[in-house]
Amino acid sequence: MKKCLTVCSSHLITLPSAPHGPVRAAIADAAAAVAEFDPELVVFFGTDHRRAFRSVVPTFAVVLSATAQGDVAGPSGAYDVPSSLGRELVADLVSHDFDIATAYEAALDHAFGHTARDLLGSISARPILPIFINCASPPHASFRRAASLGRRVGSFFEDKRVLYVGSGGLAHDLPGFREPETGAVLTEEERQAWIKSVNERARAEGTIRELVRTWDEAFLAGVGGTSWEWLDEIGVDLVERGGNGAAECLTWTAAWAAGGQALTVLAHEFDTNGRAVVMSV
């Protein structure tokens, strides 16, 4: 009986406005595999869209208590976070030379909430240990560093029956995240109005990036094996090749390394953005 399962998925793929294609169907298949696997713990590598962490943005953080913000039609309520286990993980990571932050509490946005709900049914269905990776506010960690973090996390939990989740990606560009982080706190209404204005200006100025699927394909080939050779190249010219949203794939990279297994593509779609669901088998 296998001790771990890894699932990585784009988020926002089950919104009513999202395409009813292979990726939406694949998340249901992944959820069925998760239910059959029946994990005792979910270690969830997720990111944020400049909502949860404002005055301080850690590169990596273990979250000891978490609620869901309910943004973008996402779930709300409290996660079942095993805080004592989280503290033990932080101590282990520090002892292995990772400068990990401890988030005693955090209100996590849809980067965690949508995928947790899609895979588990609800955010409180199973114990979830959230591990935040900054993907929205440069500078970001390298893909190799995210993999190193994931590998250490996997070693720490090697005696448990764990589901590793990565949420985000693939190639997409978000004009609203091109500007430097300021730490400003906005209401959700103010935030949505600002994003709308930024996107409208980008369209008017002709600065919307037209991405192609080659970055997606290179990344999926990387997590489709167990070699680490691809990690140094995948982040080169990331914004030009994959858009600033492609940094979210740092979460997939950490989950892939934690599980230590090749991931199989259940579905991949690309129009002007990429989205996919992958899983270890």
| Maximum Cα–Cα distance across the chain | 56
More confident of the two residues 195 and 43: 43
What's the half-sphere exposure (Cβ side, CA atoms, 13 Å) at 232?
3
Coil, strand or helix: which one is 174?
Answer: coil
Confidence of residue 177 (pLDDT cuts 50, 70, 90): confident
pLDDT tens-digit readout, 216-260: 999 999 999 999 999 999 999 999 999 999 999 999 999 999 999
Residue tagged active-site, from 11, 114, 140, 172: 172
| Residues 275, 12: Cα–Cα separation, whole Å | 10
Is a pLDDT exceeding 90 seen at residue 59? yes
| Residues 221, 186: Cα–Cα separation, whole Å | 38
Residue-averaged pLDDT of the chain: 95
DSSP string, 93-111: HHHTT---EEES-EEE-HH
> β-strands 76-78, 66-69: how paired?
antiparallel
Give phi and psi for 85, each to the nearest 5.
-65, -35
| Residues 16, 6: Cα–Cα separation, whole Å | 26
How big is the chain, counted in residues?
281
110 classed as catalytic:
yes
Confidence of residue 196 (pLDDT cuts 50, 70, 90): confident
| Nearest in space to 45 (alpha carbons), one of 224, 255, 245 | 255
| Per-residue confidence (pLDDT) for residue 1, from 0 to 100 | 64
Tell me the pTM. Answer: 0.96
Distances (CA, A) of 38 to 5, 28, 194: 10, 15, 42
> β-strands 162-167, 4-9: how paired?
parallel
Coil, strand or helix: which one is 175?
Answer: helix
Spatial contact of 167 and 130, defined as CB atoms under 8 Å apart? no
Spatial contact of 130 and 90, defined as CB atoms under 8 Å apart? no
Confidence of residue 108 (pLDDT cuts 50, 70, 90): very high
Q: CB 56: neighbour CB atoms within 10 A?
A: 9
Residue tagged active-site, from 110, 114, 140, 268: 110
Is a pLDDT exceeding 90 seen at residue 188? no
| Per-residue confidence (pLDDT) for residue 191, from 0 to 100 | 84
Is a pLDDT exceeding 80 seen at residue 127? yes
More confident of the two residues 106 and 205: 106
| Geometric angle at alpha carbon 274, from 21 and 11, rounded to 5° | 75
Q: Which two tokens stand for residue 82?
A: 């095993």
Q: What residues does 164 pair with on adjacent strands?
A: 6, 43
Q: Which amino acid is at 209?
A: R
Burial 214-253 (b: 16+ CB within 10 A, else e): ebbbebbebbeeeeeebbeebbeebeebbbbbbbbbbbbb
| Per-residue confidence (pLDDT) for residue 179, from 0 to 100 | 85
Task: Report whether the peptide linkage leading into residue 139 is cis, meaning its omega lies within 30 degrees of zero.
Answer: yes
Spatial contact of 225 and 262, defined as CB atoms under 8 Å apart? yes
